[in-house]
Amino acid sequence: MKAVVLAAGLGRRLKLDLPKPLLKVAGKEILYRNLCILSDLGVKEFVVVASSEEIGNFLTKHGFRHKVIWNNSPEKGNGYSLYLAENHIDGDFILIMGDHVYERAFIERAVRGKGLIGDRIAKFININEATKVVCANGWVVKVGKGLEKYDYIDTGLFILTPEIFRHAKAVIAEKDRAELSEIIERAKLPVTEVSGFFWMDIDTPEDLRRARREIIRTSVKLGDGLVARAINRRISTRISERIVDHVTPNQITFFTFLLGILSVFLVLINKPLAGILYQLSSIIDGVDGEIARASMKASELGGWLDSILDRYVDFLFLLALALSIAPRMIVWMIVALAIFGSLMVSYSTERYKAAFSEDIYKLSLMKLLVGKRDERIFLIMLFCLFGWIFELFVLLAVITNLRVILTMGIVWRYKKINSYL
């Protein structure tokens, strides 16, 4: 399927140097967001109607398969832009406004529908300026901004047949300025409802801020706990909003890890303060994922490393606490390290599989590492036979944790190299 993107709008109210579709929302251009999501959903080619060269350069730079159509007369309306795409369309196609931001879940549902995609609620947009749709038995009856009673808000996304161009020509023949809404009304399209998801068009700087906030809200991951929902996310999403345009997810991952380690040392000095810092790091720990997903930079590698570092911080904090109530016992600490390391060998392996959907042992260097369960058990048996229990714990603590660290290095190397290929 092809998609036609109307990107010839002028964006007067934003007083921009660049076309509206190239505005960044949460770290990525509106055009990039929509084309990325549509590509993921199987759209193979984009027909982009533009009035600025920057759009063509942008599409080429990001490797989208596209055809740019030059619109010298944007003042003739967006219906005229649609009409210009006619010669490049040979079957059913998606029509999308270049200056609208959509949540991924919205587009996923919309492309399965047909005709005009309508939203009954449209809670994120300014209703006064919205295009309204009256329909009867699921078909468009009337379209316009001034309608007092209406069934749907036009979302700027349509699934059309080439039939639409006949109506476009008729409107262009009659009027100087051809509005898409008039073409849609004459075409009597079917309506598909997709309500409750985030989408909006961008007209003002306030719109931009709002879109950024909502995109970050839709980037919160599955499976949050009670405290995350009640406290952490409310703070972390606000932090993400502020910094999404200025930092990378990996920078936040590293910063959160440092905060965690700092809280571990604080345990030895002031436990209440350490607890607070630990909780603070937990809040900030949400930011890297939010930024990564919102700015479409999420990587399996980043998520995997973040999880491993989180486990280490959790363990070290508990260990520091334990030491504070039983400070003499060095044995104690080594035992805990051994227990933890043994479990971490498994954890890192499984977390890898969950993240990459492949076996970690496909990385050939992994086969060189010792410390797997069967090897550990064999060592345990040997040391039990000789009665060397303390020595056993020292050995286990070293090889298991060394293995996990080496695993991180190996995975990083393979996955980083692959991402350059």
Site for its own copies in 187-246 (CB under 8 A): 222-228, 231-232
Footprint on residues 381-420 left by its own copies (CB under 8 A) = 381-385, 387, 389-390, 392-393, 396
- Least CB distance from residue 228 to its own copies, whole Å? 4
CB 115 within 8 A of CB 190: yes
User: What is the C-alpha separation between 378 and 60, in angstroms, rounded?
Assistant: 58
Between 1 and 379, whose beta carbon lies closer to its own copies?
379
Structure tokens at 143: 């379209």
Under the binding rule (CB under 8 A), the answer on residue 274 touching its own copies is yes
The label of the residue with tokens 């990459």 reads 356
- Least CB distance from residue 312 to its own copies, whole Å? 10
Between 86 and 310, whose beta carbon lies closer to its own copies?
310
CB 314 within 8 A of CB 257: no
- Least CB distance from residue 297 to its own copies, whole Å? 20
DSSP codes, 291-344: HHHHTT---HHHHHHHHHHHHHHHHHHHHHHHHHHSTT-HHHHHHHHHHHHHHH
Report the largest interatomic distance among the alpha carbons of the chain, rounded to a whole angstrom. 98
The residues, any chain, with a CB within 8 Å of residue 383's CB and separated by 6 or more, are 389, 391, 392, 395
Under the binding rule (CB under 8 A), the answer on residue 421 touching its own copies is no
Q: Which of 90, 272, 364, 419 binds its own copies (CB under 8 A)?
A: 272
Binding part of the chain for its own copies, among 38-46, 168-176, 192-200, 346-354 by CB under 8 A, reads: 346-354
- Least CB distance from residue 371 to its own copies, whole Å? 8
Q: Which of 346, 412, 413, 416 binds its own copies (CB under 8 A)?
A: 346
User: What is the C-alpha separation between 294 and 245, in angstroms, rounded?
Assistant: 10
Between 65 and 229, whose beta carbon lies closer to its own copies?
229
Between 385 and 421, whose beta carbon lies closer to its own copies?
385
Footprint on residues 242-271 left by its own copies (CB under 8 A) = 271
Task: For residue 11, give the 3-state DSSP assignment.
Answer: coil
Q: Which of 58, 197, 199, 278 binds its own copies (CB under 8 A)?
A: 278
Q: Which of 120, 145, 242, 373 binds its own copies (CB under 8 A)?
A: 373
Between 63 and 223, whose beta carbon lies closer to its own copies?
223
* Element containing residue 21 per DSSP (H, E): none
- Least CB distance from residue 364 to its own copies, whole Å? 12
Q: Which of 300, 372, 402, 408 binds its own copies (CB under 8 A)?
A: 372
Q: Dihedral sign, CA of 301, 304, 308, 313? A: positive
User: What x-and-dash track marks residues 305-334 binding its own copies by CB under 8 A?
Assistant: --x--xx--xx-xxx-xx-xxx--x-xx--
Between 123 and 234, whose beta carbon lies closer to its own copies?
234
Binding part of the chain for its own copies, among 101-109, 169-177, 189-197, 344-352 by CB under 8 A, reads: 344-352
User: What is the C-alpha separation between 229 and 371, in angstroms, rounded?
Assistant: 38
Q: Which of 67, 347, 394, 406 binds its own copies (CB under 8 A)?
A: 347
310-341: b (≥16 Cβ within 10 Å) or e: bbbbebbbebbeebeeeeeeeeebbbbbbebb
Between 116 and 267, whose beta carbon lies closer to its own copies?
267
What is the total count of residues that contact its own copies (CB under 8 A)?
76
CB 57 within 8 A of CB 19: no
The label of the residue with tokens 């080439």 reads 162
Binding part of the chain for its own copies, among 145-153, 237-245, 289-297, 363-371 by CB under 8 A, reads: 363-371
- Least CB distance from residue 350 to its own copies, whole Å? 4
Facing residues of 6 across strands? 49, 97
The alpha helices in 75-117, defined as continuous H runs, are 78-84, 104-110
- Least CB distance from residue 401 to its own copies, whole Å? 13
Q: Which of 143, 184, 336, 399 binds its own copies (CB under 8 A)?
A: 336
* Element containing residue 28 per DSSP (H, E): strand 28-29
7-12-15 Cα angle (round to 5): 110
Between 16 and 227, whose beta carbon lies closer to its own copies?
227
Q: Which of 16, 127, 268, 377 binds its own copies (CB under 8 A)?
A: 377
Between 167 and 233, whose beta carbon lies closer to its own copies?
233
φ/ψ of 253, rounded to 5, equals -55, -45
